[in-house]
Chains A and B, each alone.
Chain A
């Protein structure tokens, strides 16, 4: 396991402005953020890819890891709910073709196969470094429609626990966390831990420009970050 500092430095040395997804996950894990189990595989090694699916246990999610694809959904670089080996094989081929069509010239460095997580409330939890206000956190409803939902509010670091709770209370996400119309309350403490973890990363590592965790799935007892982006400076 590389430390955050090592991950950031090696990426910067290679002239990269962002961490690869598996590196971002390592970074997240190192500060205690739960990430679905995953396997990284050579895109040419069909057997290894299928084996990964079997090891992790279906259903799985297939993602293409590429420095040329910033938004995976748009590029067709994410496929959800793959239920068996045959499906996984077929998905690999479909994905390769879709990427060639939508992002021609994009180099697929790895395929990432990960355990598919159950449905849950989807949040965006992010970190940014503002020229005026410095390291700050973003929080709100997330998922694919995050930019349409526009639920995000912000918190300027450092924040006390009370300030984090205030921030959450400003959002619709906060309403859902408390429990809404028959849905039970969700693990707000887990969401707070993630906010704290991102706060630590933003504060300790000036090399991180932005962190995007979207979606973070929150359950009754835990929360996991399913997709993330770490942008460096």
Chain B
């Protein structure tokens, strides 16, 4: 019974009470400087370790781990690669069971680094220490302010608290993803970049976030996985509980040896990853923007896309053409509006509004017209893209609450397209996000997101 009550191994990486930073410093370009600054946001105790300093950033600095008058839950090591191995002995002697190794110069750097990493792996296994890294940014947790990333907040702003958690194999993508979400008014719950996967890997992270009550959706970036079957199993378990969006980069592996069978010739690695995503029930994203767009959508939207009948509502005809093109490409159909619906809309609207699908409210369309259109038409479709050109004087920010109301009443997935502008349109975009409607600056992106959702639900 006790076994069942033990928290996941990764819990202590995200919720340590005390953290030691080995390699803390004040030199502006060193990772240890930025990490120490970022750790000032952490609600627990932080102990910098560096024999060259007595204080750093207003904290007592210790010459070694042994000198710290406290138990340490998490050690962050930001030292040159050649010094890490001996530091692990000190970590072990201090009784620390969780370590993040920021340092690069291991398996990613060549044969010597790979051998070094292997020795670290043996040592930490022997000591029973769990490791994130090496060559990793580590963890970020909005719940307690824990931030082991060596990227300063001046350069990269941190998002507010929200429900999306990030798992990334690439440090750069982790950071850019966080910032892009922040810019779009989306919050995050937690993030982990596990680097070279000496120990903690993609499947571990998926398992942890699956059960993390703070995580409502997972956005993931991978190039490869540690163990394909373990990954599939963990992804399936995670996606069963909350939306999982995955972008796998590096699709075109350069071929193998001469193969005798068609099957093996056709396989290539990417086909199998696609099988894994499909069988796991994950939403597959194709590229950076798509990952962000889809993550926003799954975090905000409660309604799955259960079919391929798309409705487009717009107040500018040209945008609807663009959306229709993308819809075609993505395997959506655009059935013509049922006759009775067209008649009812014909009675509510001026005669020059078009109601066949797309519904074109023209530049004279008013806020309420969006509600009327969606309220009548949405029940006959599986999803809708709603395009709002805010330049039209008859449309104001009020339209956003009317659109949201129609979406929630129909319980269908809706994405909005509001063309990127200044001030006024930004307000409308943020309003929609607050109301649970994902919004995008182009019709194509609004359509692509719905396609990603449909493929995850309908598997086709």
Chain A residues packing against B (C-beta within 8 Å): 18, 70, 124, 126-128, 130, 132-134, 136, 138, 140, 142, 146-147, 150, 152-156, 159, 163, 166-167, 169-170, 210-212, 214, 229, 231
Least distance between A85 CB and chain B CB atoms (Å):
33
Provide the bound-state CA to CA distance between A192 and B460, in Å: 18
Other than the known A152-B267, A154-B267, A167-B278, what 6 A-B pairs have Cβ atoms closer than 8 Å? A18-B260, A124-B262, A126-B261, A133-B228, A136-B275, A154-B274
Q: Please determine whether A132 and B228 come into contact, CB atoms closer than 8 angstroms.
A: yes
Q: Please determine whether B261 and A163 come into contact, CB atoms closer than 8 angstroms.
A: no
Q: Per-position contact with A for B316-328: 1 when CB-CB < 8 Å, else 0?
A: 0000000000000
- Please give the number of chain B residues whose Cβ is less than 8 angstroms from any Cβ of chain A in the complex: 23
B111 neighbours in A (Cβ, 8 Å): none
Give 6 A-B contacts (CB < 8 Å), ordered by A residue: A70-B260, A128-B263, A154-B275, A167-B275, A212-B262, A229-B260
Q: Of A70, A124, A163, A229, which contacts B279 at CB under 8 A?
A: A163
Q: Please determine whether B260 and A133 come into contact, CB atoms closer than 8 angstroms.
A: no
- Asked whether any CB of chain A lies closer than 8 Å to the CB of B271, the reply is yes
Provide the bound-state CA to CA distance between A214 and B263, in Å: 9
| Main secondary structure on A side of the interface with B | strand
Chain B residues packing against A (C-beta within 8 Å): 225, 227-229, 232, 260-267, 269, 271-272, 274-276, 278-279, 459-460
Least distance between B234 CB and chain A CB atoms (Å):
13
Least distance between B403 CB and chain A CB atoms (Å):
32
Provide the bound-state CA to CA distance between A211 and B262, in Å: 9
Residue among A130, A132, A147, A150 having the largest count of chain B Cβ atoms under 10 Å: A132
Q: Please determine whether A132 and B459 come into contact, CB atoms closer than 8 angstroms.
A: no
A70 neighbours in B (Cβ, 8 Å): 260
Q: Please determine whether A210 and B272 come into contact, CB atoms closer than 8 angstroms.
A: no
Q: Please determine whether A210 and B229 come into contact, CB atoms closer than 8 angstroms.
A: no
Q: Please determine whether A153 and B274 come into contact, CB atoms closer than 8 angstroms.
A: yes
Least distance between A167 CB and chain B CB atoms (Å):
7
Q: Please determine whether A210 and B261 come into contact, CB atoms closer than 8 angstroms.
A: yes
Q: Of A127, A128, A142, A170, which contacts B460 at CB under 8 A?
A: A170
Q: Of B232, B260, B266, B459, which contacts A152 at CB under 8 A?
A: B266
Q: Please determine whether B260 and A156 come into contact, CB atoms closer than 8 angstroms.
A: no
Least distance between A95 CB and chain B CB atoms (Å):
21
Q: Please determine whether A136 and B272 come into contact, CB atoms closer than 8 angstroms.
A: yes
- Closest A residue to B267 by CB, please name it: A128
A229 neighbours in B (Cβ, 8 Å): 260-261
Q: Of B227, B267, B275, B460, which contacts A169 at CB under 8 A?
A: B460
Q: Please determine whether B261 and A156 come into contact, CB atoms closer than 8 angstroms.
A: no
Known: A133-B228, A134-B229, A170-B460. A153 touches B275 (CB 8 A): yes
Provide the bound-state CA to CA distance between A154 and B263, in Å: 10
Least distance between B233 CB and chain A CB atoms (Å):
10
Provide the bound-state CA to CA distance between A231 and B259, in Å: 10
